[in-house]
Structure 1
Amino acid sequence: MAVRSIYYALALGWAVVILVLTLLPSQALPPDPHWDFISVDSLAHAVLFGVQLLLLLYGFLRDPSVLLSRRLITIAFFSVVFFGIFVEILQGSMGLGRQADPFDALCNTIGCFFGLGIWALVPRRL
């Protein structure tokens, strides 16, 4: 089992990065410049979770004991979406000046859709 975990090290490491960045106290965060069409925070959420899905799928692809099927891709997609929702719930419950934001959860999910789209477009001869 320990040998197989190497395939998922990037995805697990990125999950830790997401947790650290999203659960920092609000005072530790830089001010959010607001653009007219999208906020930096929204874009950051989408990128974080899109990359999370790509790294998880890449781990599945590299693991020789896993057959990467549409079903597994779907499970991975919803796992990362639920992880994004869980992070928002944690933000609201930890009392560190952060709050659960349904719009952030939506941005997390949009990022997963972008990650899925990139996965579909990139050839996997890695």
Structure 2
Amino acid sequence: MRKQLYFWAALIWSLIISYFCLAQFSSVPLGNVSNIDKFVHAFFHFVLTTFCFLFFKNQYKEVVSYKPLVFSFLFSLFFGIGIELAQGFFTTTRQADIFDVMANVSGACLSLLLITLFGFNNKTK
């Protein structure tokens, strides 16, 4: 049951990221914070990596496994790169940005760091 919940959470979150990264927004009030979109990218991928980790964690029988950490990071990384490529090739109002990819990686790394620090990669019965 949890596995399905985490799968759907990751899928829906991926769709939300896709929408906000590919849709045209002409007048989105972002305030006066410099580079706020980088914080948004980091947040998106922090949550995505966390959901993916929770899903992948339920796939393995080992008590401690680093595979869920690696797979969730790689999924977030390649998903973020794919979104940036889609922005560059398929939209006229957006452009691919290497700094967005770096922000995505920052969010994913922060997720993995917190998962590791708080011991969530250990299976609890």
* TM-score category, normalised to shorter length: 0.7 to 0.9
2:98 aligned to which of 73, 86, 102: 102
Structure 1: gaps (5+ residues): none
Residue in 1 that maps onto 2:110: 114
Root-mean-square deviation (CA, aligned residues, Å) is 2.3
Q: CA deviation at 1:121?
A: 2.6
Q: CA deviation at 1:30?
A: 0.5
SS at match of 1:41: helix
Residue in 1 that maps onto 2:31: 33
Q: Distance in 1 between matches of 2:70 and 2:61?
A: 13
TM-score (ref. length: structure 2): 0.81
Q: Distance in 1 between matches of 2:6 and 2:67?
A: 19
Identity of aligned residues (%): 26
TM-score (ref. length: structure 1): 0.81
Q: Quick check: 1:20 aligned with 2:19?
A: yes
Q: Distance in 2 between matches of 1:31 and 1:20?
A: 17
Q: CA deviation at 1:40?
A: 1.3
Q: Could you tell me whether the CA contact under 8 Å between 1:32 and 1:39 is conserved in 2?
A: no
Q: Distance in 1 between matches of 2:76 and 2:97?
A: 17
Q: Could you tell me whether the CA contact under 8 Å between 1:26 and 1:96 is conserved in 2?
A: no
Q: Quick check: 1:43 aligned with 2:39?
A: yes
Q: Could you tell me whether the CA contact under 8 Å between 2:17 and 2:44 is conserved in 1?
A: yes
Q: Could you tell me whether the CA contact under 8 Å between 1:24 and 1:96 is conserved in 2?
A: no
